[in-house]
Structure 1
Amino acid sequence: MELDEAIARRTSVRYFDERPLSEETILRLVESAIRAPTASGLENWLFVVFRSEEARKKLYDLIAEGMVEYYRAVNLPEDKMEKLKSRMYEEGMYRAPVYIAVFIDRRVRFLNGRKFDEVEFIWSVESAAMAIQNLMLKATELGLGTVYIGVTNFQGIEEKVRELAGLDENYYLVGVIPVGYPRDEVRPRKRRKGSTDVVKFV
C-alpha cells in the first residue's frame, strides 16, 4: 500500500471483530510509531499494550465512563445517553482485542528550569501524537482499524488508567488507541474543509 492510499483510507473505526492480534503485529505497529520525530531526540514515550481479557475489561469500563462524562458535558439528552450506553455495552462500540495506551515520561527532558516546563511538555505530547499517527497509518496498511480515545484524560479517569498500567504520576497519558480488525467495511469520511480552506500563504 502506498503512503497516499494509507492516508486516504485511515479513518476512525469504532467496531472491531474478535480476532486477536499477534505480538509480532503489535510490535510492528510500535516500531512504526517510534520512527516518528521526537523533540530533542528524547524518545520519552511509552506504549502500554492492554491485551489480557481482565486488563481490557477494566480499560473498556474507563473508556465508557469517560464517554458518559464527555456527552454529559455537552448536555446530551438522557435518552441519547442511553443509546450511547447501548452502543457500547450491547453493540460493543470501542471494544477491541488490543488497546495501546501512549504515555510520556515527564521526567525526561532536554531544557532545565521551570520556565521551560510548559514547552517541554508540549513538545513531548507533540512527539507522542506524531508516533500515534505513524501507528495508525501502519495499522491501515496491515488492514487494521484504529480510533483515538481522548476521554480517558478526564480527571479521575487518567489516574486510573495509569494505575492499571502500573505507572506513577511521572507519566502522562496522551491517548488510548483501540486496535483490531474492523467489524464492518471501512468507509473514510470526507473532511468538511479542503486544503485551500485551511492554508494561509505568507
Structure 2
Amino acid sequence: MEFDEVIKKRRSIRAYKKKKVPFSKIVKICEAARYAPMAGNIYTIRLIVVEDKEKKAKLAEASFHQDFIAEASHVIVVCSDLSLLKRSYGERAFIYGRQQAGAAIQNMLLKITELGLASCWIGAFDENAVKRILRIPEPIQVEALLPIGFGREKPREIVKPELKTILNFEFYGLKVSKKEPEPGV
C-alpha cells in the first residue's frame, strides 16, 4: 500500500471480528512507535500489550463503557515516563510528552492500517482505573488505549476539510498565496 493510501484509508473502527491478530503483527505495530520523533532523543514512550479477556473488559469499563474495546484481539496501552523529560525540559516535559505520544500513536495507527487491521484511538478513560488494572506506577502517565483487531464494520467515507480551509501563509488568517500549488496538490 502506498503511503498516501495508508493515510487516507486509516479510520476509527469500533467493531472487531472474533479472530486473533498474530503476535508478530502486534510486534510490528509496537516497533512503529519506536520511530516517532522524540524531544532530545529521550524515549519516554512505554507500551503495554493486553490480550487477557478479563483485563480488556476492565479496560472497556474504565474507558466509560466503550465495550468494543473488550472485543479487540489486543489492546496496546500507550504510556509516557515524563520523569525522563523533566530532567532536561522542566515544565515543558508535559507538552513534549504529549507530542511524543501523539507521534508514536499515529505511527502505530498507520502501521495497523498498512497491516490490514483496525483500531480506534481511545483518549477517554479513567486514568487511575487503568493504572490500577495494569499496575502502572507513578510517575508513568497513560496517554491512550489502542484496541486492535480485524475490523467487522466497513468504514464510512469521511469528508475532510479542503486544504485551503486549514492552510495559512506567512501568518494566521492569510489564506491566499501568490504561488500556484503544484499539480495534484
For 2:30, the aligned partner's letter is: V
Q: State the number of aligned residues.
A: 170
Cα deviations by residue, 1:47-66 (Å, 9 ceiling, x for unpaired)? 1111111211111111234x
Tell me: CA distance 1:37–1:188, structure 2 relative to 1, closer, same or farther (3 Å): farther
Cα deviations by residue, 1:51-102 (Å, 9 ceiling, x for unpaired)? 111211111111234x6xxxxxxxxxxxxxxxxxxxx4xxx47731111110
User: Equivalents in 1 of 2:90, 2:147: separation in Å?
Assistant: 30
For 2:109, the aligned partner's letter is: M
For 2:132, the aligned partner's letter is: E
Q: How does 1:60-139 map to 2 (within 5 A)?
A: 60-65=60-65, 88=67, 92=68, 95-109=71-85, 111-112=87-88, 116-139=89-112
The structural deviation recorded for 1:106 is 1.6
Pairing 1:194–2:162 present: yes
Of the structure 1 ranges 178-187 and 133-142, higher mean CA displacement relative to structure 2 is found in 178-187
**Structure 1 runs, 4 residues or longer, greater than 4 Å off:** none
- Secondary structure of the 1:6 match is helix
User: Equivalents in 1 of 2:168, 2:87: separation in Å?
Assistant: 32
The structural deviation recorded for 1:162 is 1.3
CA-atom RMSD in angstroms: 1.7
User: Equivalents in 2 of 1:5, 1:120: separation in Å?
Assistant: 34
User: Equivalents in 2 of 1:25, 1:118: separation in Å?
Assistant: 36
User: Equivalents in 2 of 1:163, 1:107: separation in Å?
Assistant: 20
Q: What residue is the counterpart of 1:181 in the other structure?
A: 150
User: Equivalents in 2 of 1:198, 1:111: separation in Å?
Assistant: 36
Whose helix fraction is larger, Structure 1's or Structure 2's?
A: 1
Q: TM-score, normalised by structure 2?
A: 0.85
The structural deviation recorded for 1:149 is 0.8
Q: How does 1:124-163 map to 2 (within 5 A)?
A: 124-152=97-125, 157-163=126-132
8 Å contact from structure 1 (residues 9, 188) kept in 2? no
8 Å contact from structure 1 (residues 11, 188) kept in 2? no
8 Å contact from structure 2 (residues 53, 70) kept in 1? no
For 1:173, the aligned partner's letter is: V
Higher relative contact order (CA 8 A, sep 6+): 1
For 1:160, the aligned partner's letter is: A
Q: What residue is the counterpart of 2:139 in the other structure?
A: 170
User: Equivalents in 1 of 2:143, 2:96: separation in Å?
Assistant: 12
Q: TM-score, normalised by structure 1?
A: 0.78
User: Equivalents in 2 of 1:59, 1:98: separation in Å?
Assistant: 11
Q: What residue ranges of structure 1 are gaps of 5+ in the alignment? A: 68-87
